[in-house]
Amino acid sequence: MTEAPSPRTKVRRGAERADYEHDTINAILDSAMIAHVGVQTADGPLVLPMAFGRDDTNLYLHGALANHLIASGTGQQICVTVSHVDGLVMARTPFHNSMNYRSVVIRGEAARIEEPSEQLRALKIITDHVVTNWDLGRPVSEKDRKLTRVISVPLAEASAKIRSGDPIDDEEDMAGPWWAGVIPVSTVLGEPRTAADYSGDRPVPDSFTAHPG
Ligand SMILES: Cc1cc2nc3c(=O)[nH]c(=O)nc-3n(C[C@H](O)[C@H](O)[C@H](O)COP(=O)(O)OP(=O)(O)OC[C@H]3O[C@@H](n4cnc5c(N)ncnc54)[C@H](O)[C@@H]3O)c2cc1C
């Protein structure tokens, strides 16, 4: 485990679950569908779910020009959180119930991407994050691009926190009869369903079905 990249990113509670390795952080980001993005707005803090993508140095977000959260966050410090629930940890007493999880928190200043080719590159990264499809549909037009705001936040200040394994119960309860264990949780992509009004003749793209279960 490397050191936390900054004092504010250092996991204090449950520090043994912290991981600051880029590979760990990237793996958690790459297997997540959405991020929760927190910003300070003129009328108070706001956290919203959003699609995202990343490269080696930045995480990217996009929204319509009218998007309040993205407009508020541009040029400001924002916080992006990604989390997976891997299991419900059922302890011998509900007091010690927990969850197995993998999460990442990224803190940094959001910058607007205005250069057209950079904007398109970021939009492709976001679009292909879960399922590769940028090159499979009608190309994004200049009008589409201009209607979209894209921001980046550096991955430099990021931490991961991971819990796995069995419940941790009190010593005096260990011989008790109460069931203890883990209920696994997973998110899977199902079989694609063709739109009722689809009139083309193309099969479902391979990248829509060739995903890990
Ligand atoms: C899985 C998922 C992925 C999404 N991905 C994107 C994305 O990539 N880009 C994007 O622009 N938007 C995305 N959205 C929608 C996003 O959460 C916001 O609704 C949207 O960006 C509008 O933001 P705004 O700040 O302009 O909202 P406004 O309409 O200005 O928000 C006003 C108020 O509406 C409520 N509100 C807004 N959004 C939500 C919400 N999602 N759920 C419940 N209440 C809400 C809040 O109380 C908020 O204060 C996604 C939503 C989900 C659930």
Taking the chain (213 residues) in runs of 10, the rounded mean pLDDT of each run is: 91 94 98 98 97 98 96 97 98 98 98 97 97 96 97 98 98 98 96 97 91 50
Indicate which CATH number applies to the domain containing 69: 2.30.110.10
Q: Is residue 69 part of a domain?
A: yes
CA–CA separation, 165 vs 103, rounded Å?
15
* pTM metric for this prediction: 0.95
Q: Is residue 49 part of a domain?
A: yes
When divided into structural domains, the chain yields a total of: 1
Q: Is residue 201 part of a domain?
A: no
Place of tokens 């993508």: 53
Long-range contacts of 195-198 (CB under 8 A, 24+ apart): none
Which atom of ligand 1 lies closest to the CA of 70?
Answer: 25
How far apart are the CA of 72 and the centre of ligand 1, in A?
A: 13
CA–CA separation, 112 vs 151, rounded Å?
4
Pocket (CB within 6 angstroms of ligand 1):
34, 46, 48-51, 62-64, 67-69
Give per-residue pLDDT as tens, 80-119.
999 999 999 999 999 999 999 999 999 999 999 999 999 9
Q: Is residue 203 part of a domain?
A: no
- Contact at 8 Å (CB) between 81 and 108? no
Q: Is residue 195 part of a domain?
A: no
Q: Is residue 66 part of a domain?
A: yes
Q: Is residue 202 part of a domain?
A: no
Q: Is residue 132 part of a domain?
A: yes
CA–CA separation, 167 vs 27, rounded Å?
25
Per the structure, the complete domain to which residue 43 belongs is given by 7-186
pLDDT attached to residue 2: 83
